[in-house]
Structure 1
Amino acid sequence: MKIRILTIGQKMPSWVITGFEDYFKRIQPFVTTQLIELPMAKRAKNDSKADILKYCQTEGESILNTLKPNELLIALEVGGRELSTEKLAHTMQEWTLAGQDIVLAIGGPDGLSDDVRQAAAWHWSLSKLTLPHPFVRIMLIEQLYRAMSINHNHPYHRA
């Protein structure tokens, strides 16, 4: 199994880069993980709903064009299913046993396009809260690492 994180947005604050890289390094012995930053469509201050829809579509096309055959696409969205860390660990075991490569898609500031939502095998919510887009990267990689630490009997996760 390999995990690719596709995310819209390329210029992250240093605290995001530092937080993400810490967990990214930790997870590599457990599972090959890759972060792919895709460009965010340029936005203006007074965009119309049609403009926002166009931005989402453009960003969605870049996500879908990055997919490889036989990858399972999971869309990260506030309205998706919620998983406990233990359930995520179990799900990741299933992906590993199936040899399934996973793509986790994080949308831009206006979310994911309808095309990405429809292409996704399922939708995952990290929280019912609306989270800052850059923070999602850190929270996601930390939870993936935590789940893998459970699966490998590593002491990081203490229930």
Structure 2
Amino acid sequence: MTAPAARPRRRRTTNRPATLLAVGRLKPGPERALFEHYAARLRPAPVVVEIPEARGSAAEVRRREGAALLAALPEGCTAVALDLGGPMPDSEAFAALLERWAGAGRPPAFLIGGAEGLDPAVLARSEHRISLGPMTWPHFLVRGMLAEQLYRAQAIRQNHPYHRAWRPG
């Protein structure tokens, strides 16, 4: 008798959604519409946790908002700070990161600071930092940009024609 053929090992993946921990309440308007446009296409839909904006000096605001962001981090996630000083992965590299985190069973929790930025404690706790580019973006617009990149990463992983990689030459 021959032994049955071994099944190829499947990567352990999770279907847990990405979490967006963001300072400020996204009010109705174009920024919210942009975010909702892409978030509605994501499977599973992202979990959004809004952290109230703090008052005080810039340092105090960062400290209070940072403490609230850290308190809201889901257990077992990969903490990813959106930070101007982080690396700027292209869309394919971002999709690969998401795939790696999902394969490890640790979906990303993206930390989006308020107008004063992220507290050093948040940056220290984050396992990864990602920048959306060298320009400074309003924190409400960042949500829509991140949702679009999450959708694009999903399209890349599914070989969907939404993503058309542009290459010079």
**For the Cα contact (< 8 Å) 1:2–1:100, is it kept in 2?**
no
Aligned residue pairs, count: 150
What is the Cα deviation at residue 40 of structure 1? Answer: 0.4
**Does 2:32 align with 1:35?**
no
Asked if residue 54 in structure 1 is aligned to residue 60 in structure 2, the reply is: yes
* d(CA) in 1 for partners of 2:134, 2:121: 22
Distance (Å, rounded) in 1 between the aligned partners of 2:45 and 2:38: 12
Q: Which runs of 5+ in 2 are unaligned?
A: 1-15
Q: CA RMSD in A?
A: 1.3
**Which residue type is aligned with residue 87 of structure 1?**
A
Cα distance in 1 for partners of 2:26, 2:38 equals 19
Quote the offset at 1:11 in angstroms. Answer: 4.1
Other-structure match for 1:136: 142
**Aligned sequence identity (%):** 35
TM-score (norm 2): 0.84
Deviation at 1:147, TM superposition (A): 0.8
Highest CA radius of gyration, 1 or 2?
2
4+ residue segments displaced more than 4 Å: none
Post-superposition CA distance 1:33-72 (Å, at most 9, x none): 11111100135xxxxxxx1101100000100110122211
Match of 1:125, as an amino acid?
S
Q: Cα gap change, 1:139/1:97 in structure 2, threshold over 3 Å: closer, same or farther?
A: same
TM-score for both structures, normalised by structure 1: 0.89
For 1:131 and 1:68, the matched residues in 2 are separated by 25
Say whether the 8 Å CA contact 2:38–2:148 is kept in structure 1. yes
Structure 1: where are the runs of 5+ without partners? 44-50
| Richer in strand (by share) | 1
SS in 2 for 1:27: coil
**1:157 is aligned with what amino acid?**
H
How far 1:99 moved relative to its partner? 1.3
1:104 offset after TM fit, Å? Answer: 0.2
Alpha-carbon shift at residue 79 of structure 1 (Å): 0.8
Q: Any idea what SS the aligned residue of 1:74 has?
A: strand
